[in-house]
Amino acid sequence: MNRLLITSALCAALPMAALAADKPDALKVGMTTFLTGPASVFGVPARDAAEILVEDINANGGINGVPVEVTFIDEGAGAEALTSEFRRLVETGEAEVMFASISSGNCQTLAPLAEDLEVPNFMWDCGTQKIFEENDYTYVFRTQANAAPEMVAAVAYLLKTKPDFKTIAVVNQDYAWGRDSWDIFSTTLKALKPDVEVVGEFFPKFGAPDFSTEISRLQALRPDVILSTSWGGDLDTFVQQASQRGLTNTSTFVLPLAESSLERLGSSLPAGHIVGARGDHYFLHPERRDDADFKAFMEKYEAKTGDVSVYPVFHASQAFAALQAAYEKAIADNGVDWPSKEQLVAAMDGLEFQGLGNPVKIREDNQGIEDQLMGTTVQTGDYPFATLENIMIFDGDELTTPVGEVSIDWVGGLDAAFLDGLTVSTFEN
């Protein structure tokens, strides 16, 4: 009888054990980011931001009393070191949740790994739209937009502000991002404005130190619009060389990632060119800049680094906001002290959270829905670099490929009516 009681007590306890977890000493997070290599222009600001964010969370009592600890892994150390270290953190219990990664290539490697290891993984910065279109994931989420809404926003802004252009050329970095983003951009553009002529397509190699020859050709071709989705040193070099040789006076540049280069480009990026930010990320975000939390963070960040915030900082803030929101939701939903992995993953579905930008929502296919901000450069003299005017914030829902569809097919099926139907908030600066 006694034994029976014990057994039934054990049986009753078992499902409980599977559902809840003990409150740990710390919520350990592993975050992959570029500390070395060209992409450290994104990785280092993101790390600095993550340190501030974690400090803030812990200063406010952590998550349900549990402090957050973050370990950084260098994506620049190469794929082998990255995957080994990712596994080591997960398998030794040094990380309960992973944030990976900046590079789309690394996301494609690490997403299946995270799924196999059954560790919740937030793709906090990488852009490729293919991951959720080609596979279903239980443990992998994206706490930001992907390449499709980013490019559709750039096309929409271009057509709304400069509807009469005839010719376009592209100068993108020669790797998956440069190629894929041009595929989406050009397909969208052809669907929305079929009479545009593409007069030149250049894919100089990633990290190219010199674009002189491309610029000579562009000057001979004289396109109305020049698109470049490049970033970091490549974008800086291209814009500087183009500006030195007067190309910025004869063509309108569309630079969907240039928000992250504005400060470095200084006066080299003149007024009248179109700039994007991979989401609604801008240190003078018109809907957020008067909010106390936004202002407080921007001040802390500037004090710590001496620079203004760029989009990876916003993406890091969204990942940590998602983390906090998911744990709090899972704790509330299940009435537990600390959620199990399953409870956490269940809480991610439909999760809404707000980092430094507008609120983001996780869709049923684990993709985040994020608003998109685009603007036109202006040199006002308030800062020693270009800022944005005529800012448009596009509603993320309308720009993001519907669940179950493939982005490139979806954007190819759009028509001019799509452009008029978009919800846009416009701000002068």
Partner 1 sequence: MDTVSSSARPQADRAPGLRLLATLLGVAALAVVPFVAPTMQLLVNLALAKGLAVMGVTVLLRAGQVSFGHALYFAVAAYGGAFLMTAMPGADLLLVLVVGVAGATVSGLLVGLFVVRYRGIFFGMLNLAFSMIFWSILEKFYHVTGGADGIRLPRPTVLGMELGRADFELILFYLSIALMLGLGWFTIRWFASPVGQLFQTIKTNETRLEYLGVSPRRALLSGYLLSAVLCGAGGVIMGVAQGVVTPEYAWWIRSGEMVFIAVLGGSGSVQGAFIGALIYEFVRTYASAFAGDVWQMLLGGFLLVIILFAPRGVIGIVEALGRRGTRSEDAK
Partner 2 sequence: MNLTIFVLALFDGIAYAALVFIVALGLTLIFGVMRILNVAHGSLYAIGAYATVSLTGAFLSMGFAPVFAFPLMLVSAILVGVLLGGPIEWLLLRRIYDKPEVLQLLVTFAVFMILEDVQRLVWGSQPYFQAAALQSLGNVTLFGVTYTVYQLILLPAVALALLLGLRFFLRRTVIGKLILATTEDREAAQSIGIDADKVFLLTFIVGAALAGLGGALASPTTSILPGMGADMIVLSFAVVATAGLGQIEGAALTALLIGLGRSFAVYVWPETAVLVPYLIMVLVLLVRPEGLFGSPAARKI
Closer to partner 2 by Cβ: residue 223 or 232: 232
Q: What is the length of the chain?
A: 429
113 binds partner 1 (CB under 8 A): yes
166 binds partner 1 (CB under 8 A): no
| DSSP-derived secondary structure for 12-25 | HHHHHHHHB-PPPS
Q: How many residues bind partner 1 (CB under 8 A)?
A: 32
- Cα dist from 301 to 65, 102, 200, 295, 321, whole Å: 25, 20, 40, 10, 17
Closer to partner 1 by Cβ: residue 234 or 280: 234
Report the alpha-carbon distance of residue 111 to residue 265 in Å, rounded.
Answer: 34
Q: Are 45 and 313 in contact (CB under 8 A)?
A: yes
Specify the stretch interacting with partner 2 by CB under 8 A; choose among 154-162, 189-197, 206-214, 375-383: 206-214
Torsion of CA 221, 234, 371, 119, to 10 degrees: 140
109 binds partner 1 (CB under 8 A): yes
Q: What would the x/- binding string for partner 2 be over residues 6 to 35, using CB under 8 A?
A: -----------------------------x
87 binds partner 1 (CB under 8 A): yes
Specify the stretch interacting with partner 2 by CB under 8 A; choose among 5-13, 61-69, 135-143, 217-225: 217-225
Instruction: Tell the smallest beta-carbon distance from residue 129 to partner 1 (Å).
Output: 14
Instruction: Tell the smallest beta-carbon distance from residue 374 to partner 2 (Å).
Output: 23
Binding residue (CB under 8 A) for partner 2 from 161, 219, 354, 379: 219
Amino acid (1-letter code) at residue 129: Q
Q: How many residues bind partner 2 (CB under 8 A)?
A: 39
Which of partner 2, partner 1, none does 116 bind, CB closer than 5 to 8 A by kind? partner 1
178 binds partner 2 (CB under 8 A): no
Report the alpha-carbon distance of residue 79 to residue 20 in Å, rounded.
Answer: 35
Sheet of strand 252-255, all strands in order from the earlier edge strand to the far edge: 197-202, 167-171, 225-227, 252-255, 274-276, 372-378, 387-394, 424-427
Q: What would the x/- binding string for partner 2 be over residues 244 to 263, using CB under 8 A?
A: xxxx----------------
Specify the stretch interacting with partner 1 by CB under 8 A; choose among 69-77, 245-253, 405-413, 419-427: 69-77
67 binds partner 2 (CB under 8 A): no
What are the b/e assignments for 159-175, b being 16+ CB within 10 Å? bbbeeebebbbbbbbee
Specify the stretch interacting with partner 2 by CB under 8 A; choose among 25-33, 114-122, 198-206, 317-325: 198-206
Closer to partner 1 by Cβ: residue 70 or 242: 70
Say how many Å lie between the first and final Cα of the chain, rounded.
77
What are the b/e assignments for 96-125, b being 16+ CB within 10 Å? bbbbbbbbbbbbbbbbebbbebebbbbbbb
Residue in 398, 325, 396, 394 with CA at minimum distance from that of residue 161: 394
Closer to partner 1 by Cβ: residue 84 or 244: 84
Torsions phi, psi of 375, nearest 5?
A: -155, 175
176 binds partner 1 (CB under 8 A): yes
Residue in 173, 280, 267, 264 with CA at minimum distance from that of residue 227: 173
Binding residue (CB under 8 A) for partner 2 from 264, 285, 288, 363: 264
* Greatest alpha-carbon span in the chain: 94
240 binds partner 2 (CB under 8 A): yes
At which residue do the structure tokens 């569309």 appear? 254
167 binds partner 2 (CB under 8 A): no
Instruction: Tell the smallest beta-carbon distance from residue 217 to partner 2 (Å).
Output: 7
In 3-state terms, what secondary structure has residue 190? helix
- Cα dist from 169 to 42, 49, 163, 250, whole Å: 26, 36, 16, 13
203 binds partner 1 (CB under 8 A): yes
Q: Are 52 and 297 in contact (CB under 8 A)?
A: yes
Binding site for partner 1 (CB under 8 A): 35-36, 72-74, 76-81, 83-85, 87-88, 91-92, 104-105, 108-109, 112-113, 116, 174-176, 179, 203, 205-206
Binding site for partner 2 (CB under 8 A): 35-38, 40-41, 43-44, 201-205, 207, 209-210, 212-214, 216-217, 219-220, 232-234, 236-237, 240-241, 244-247, 264-266, 268, 307
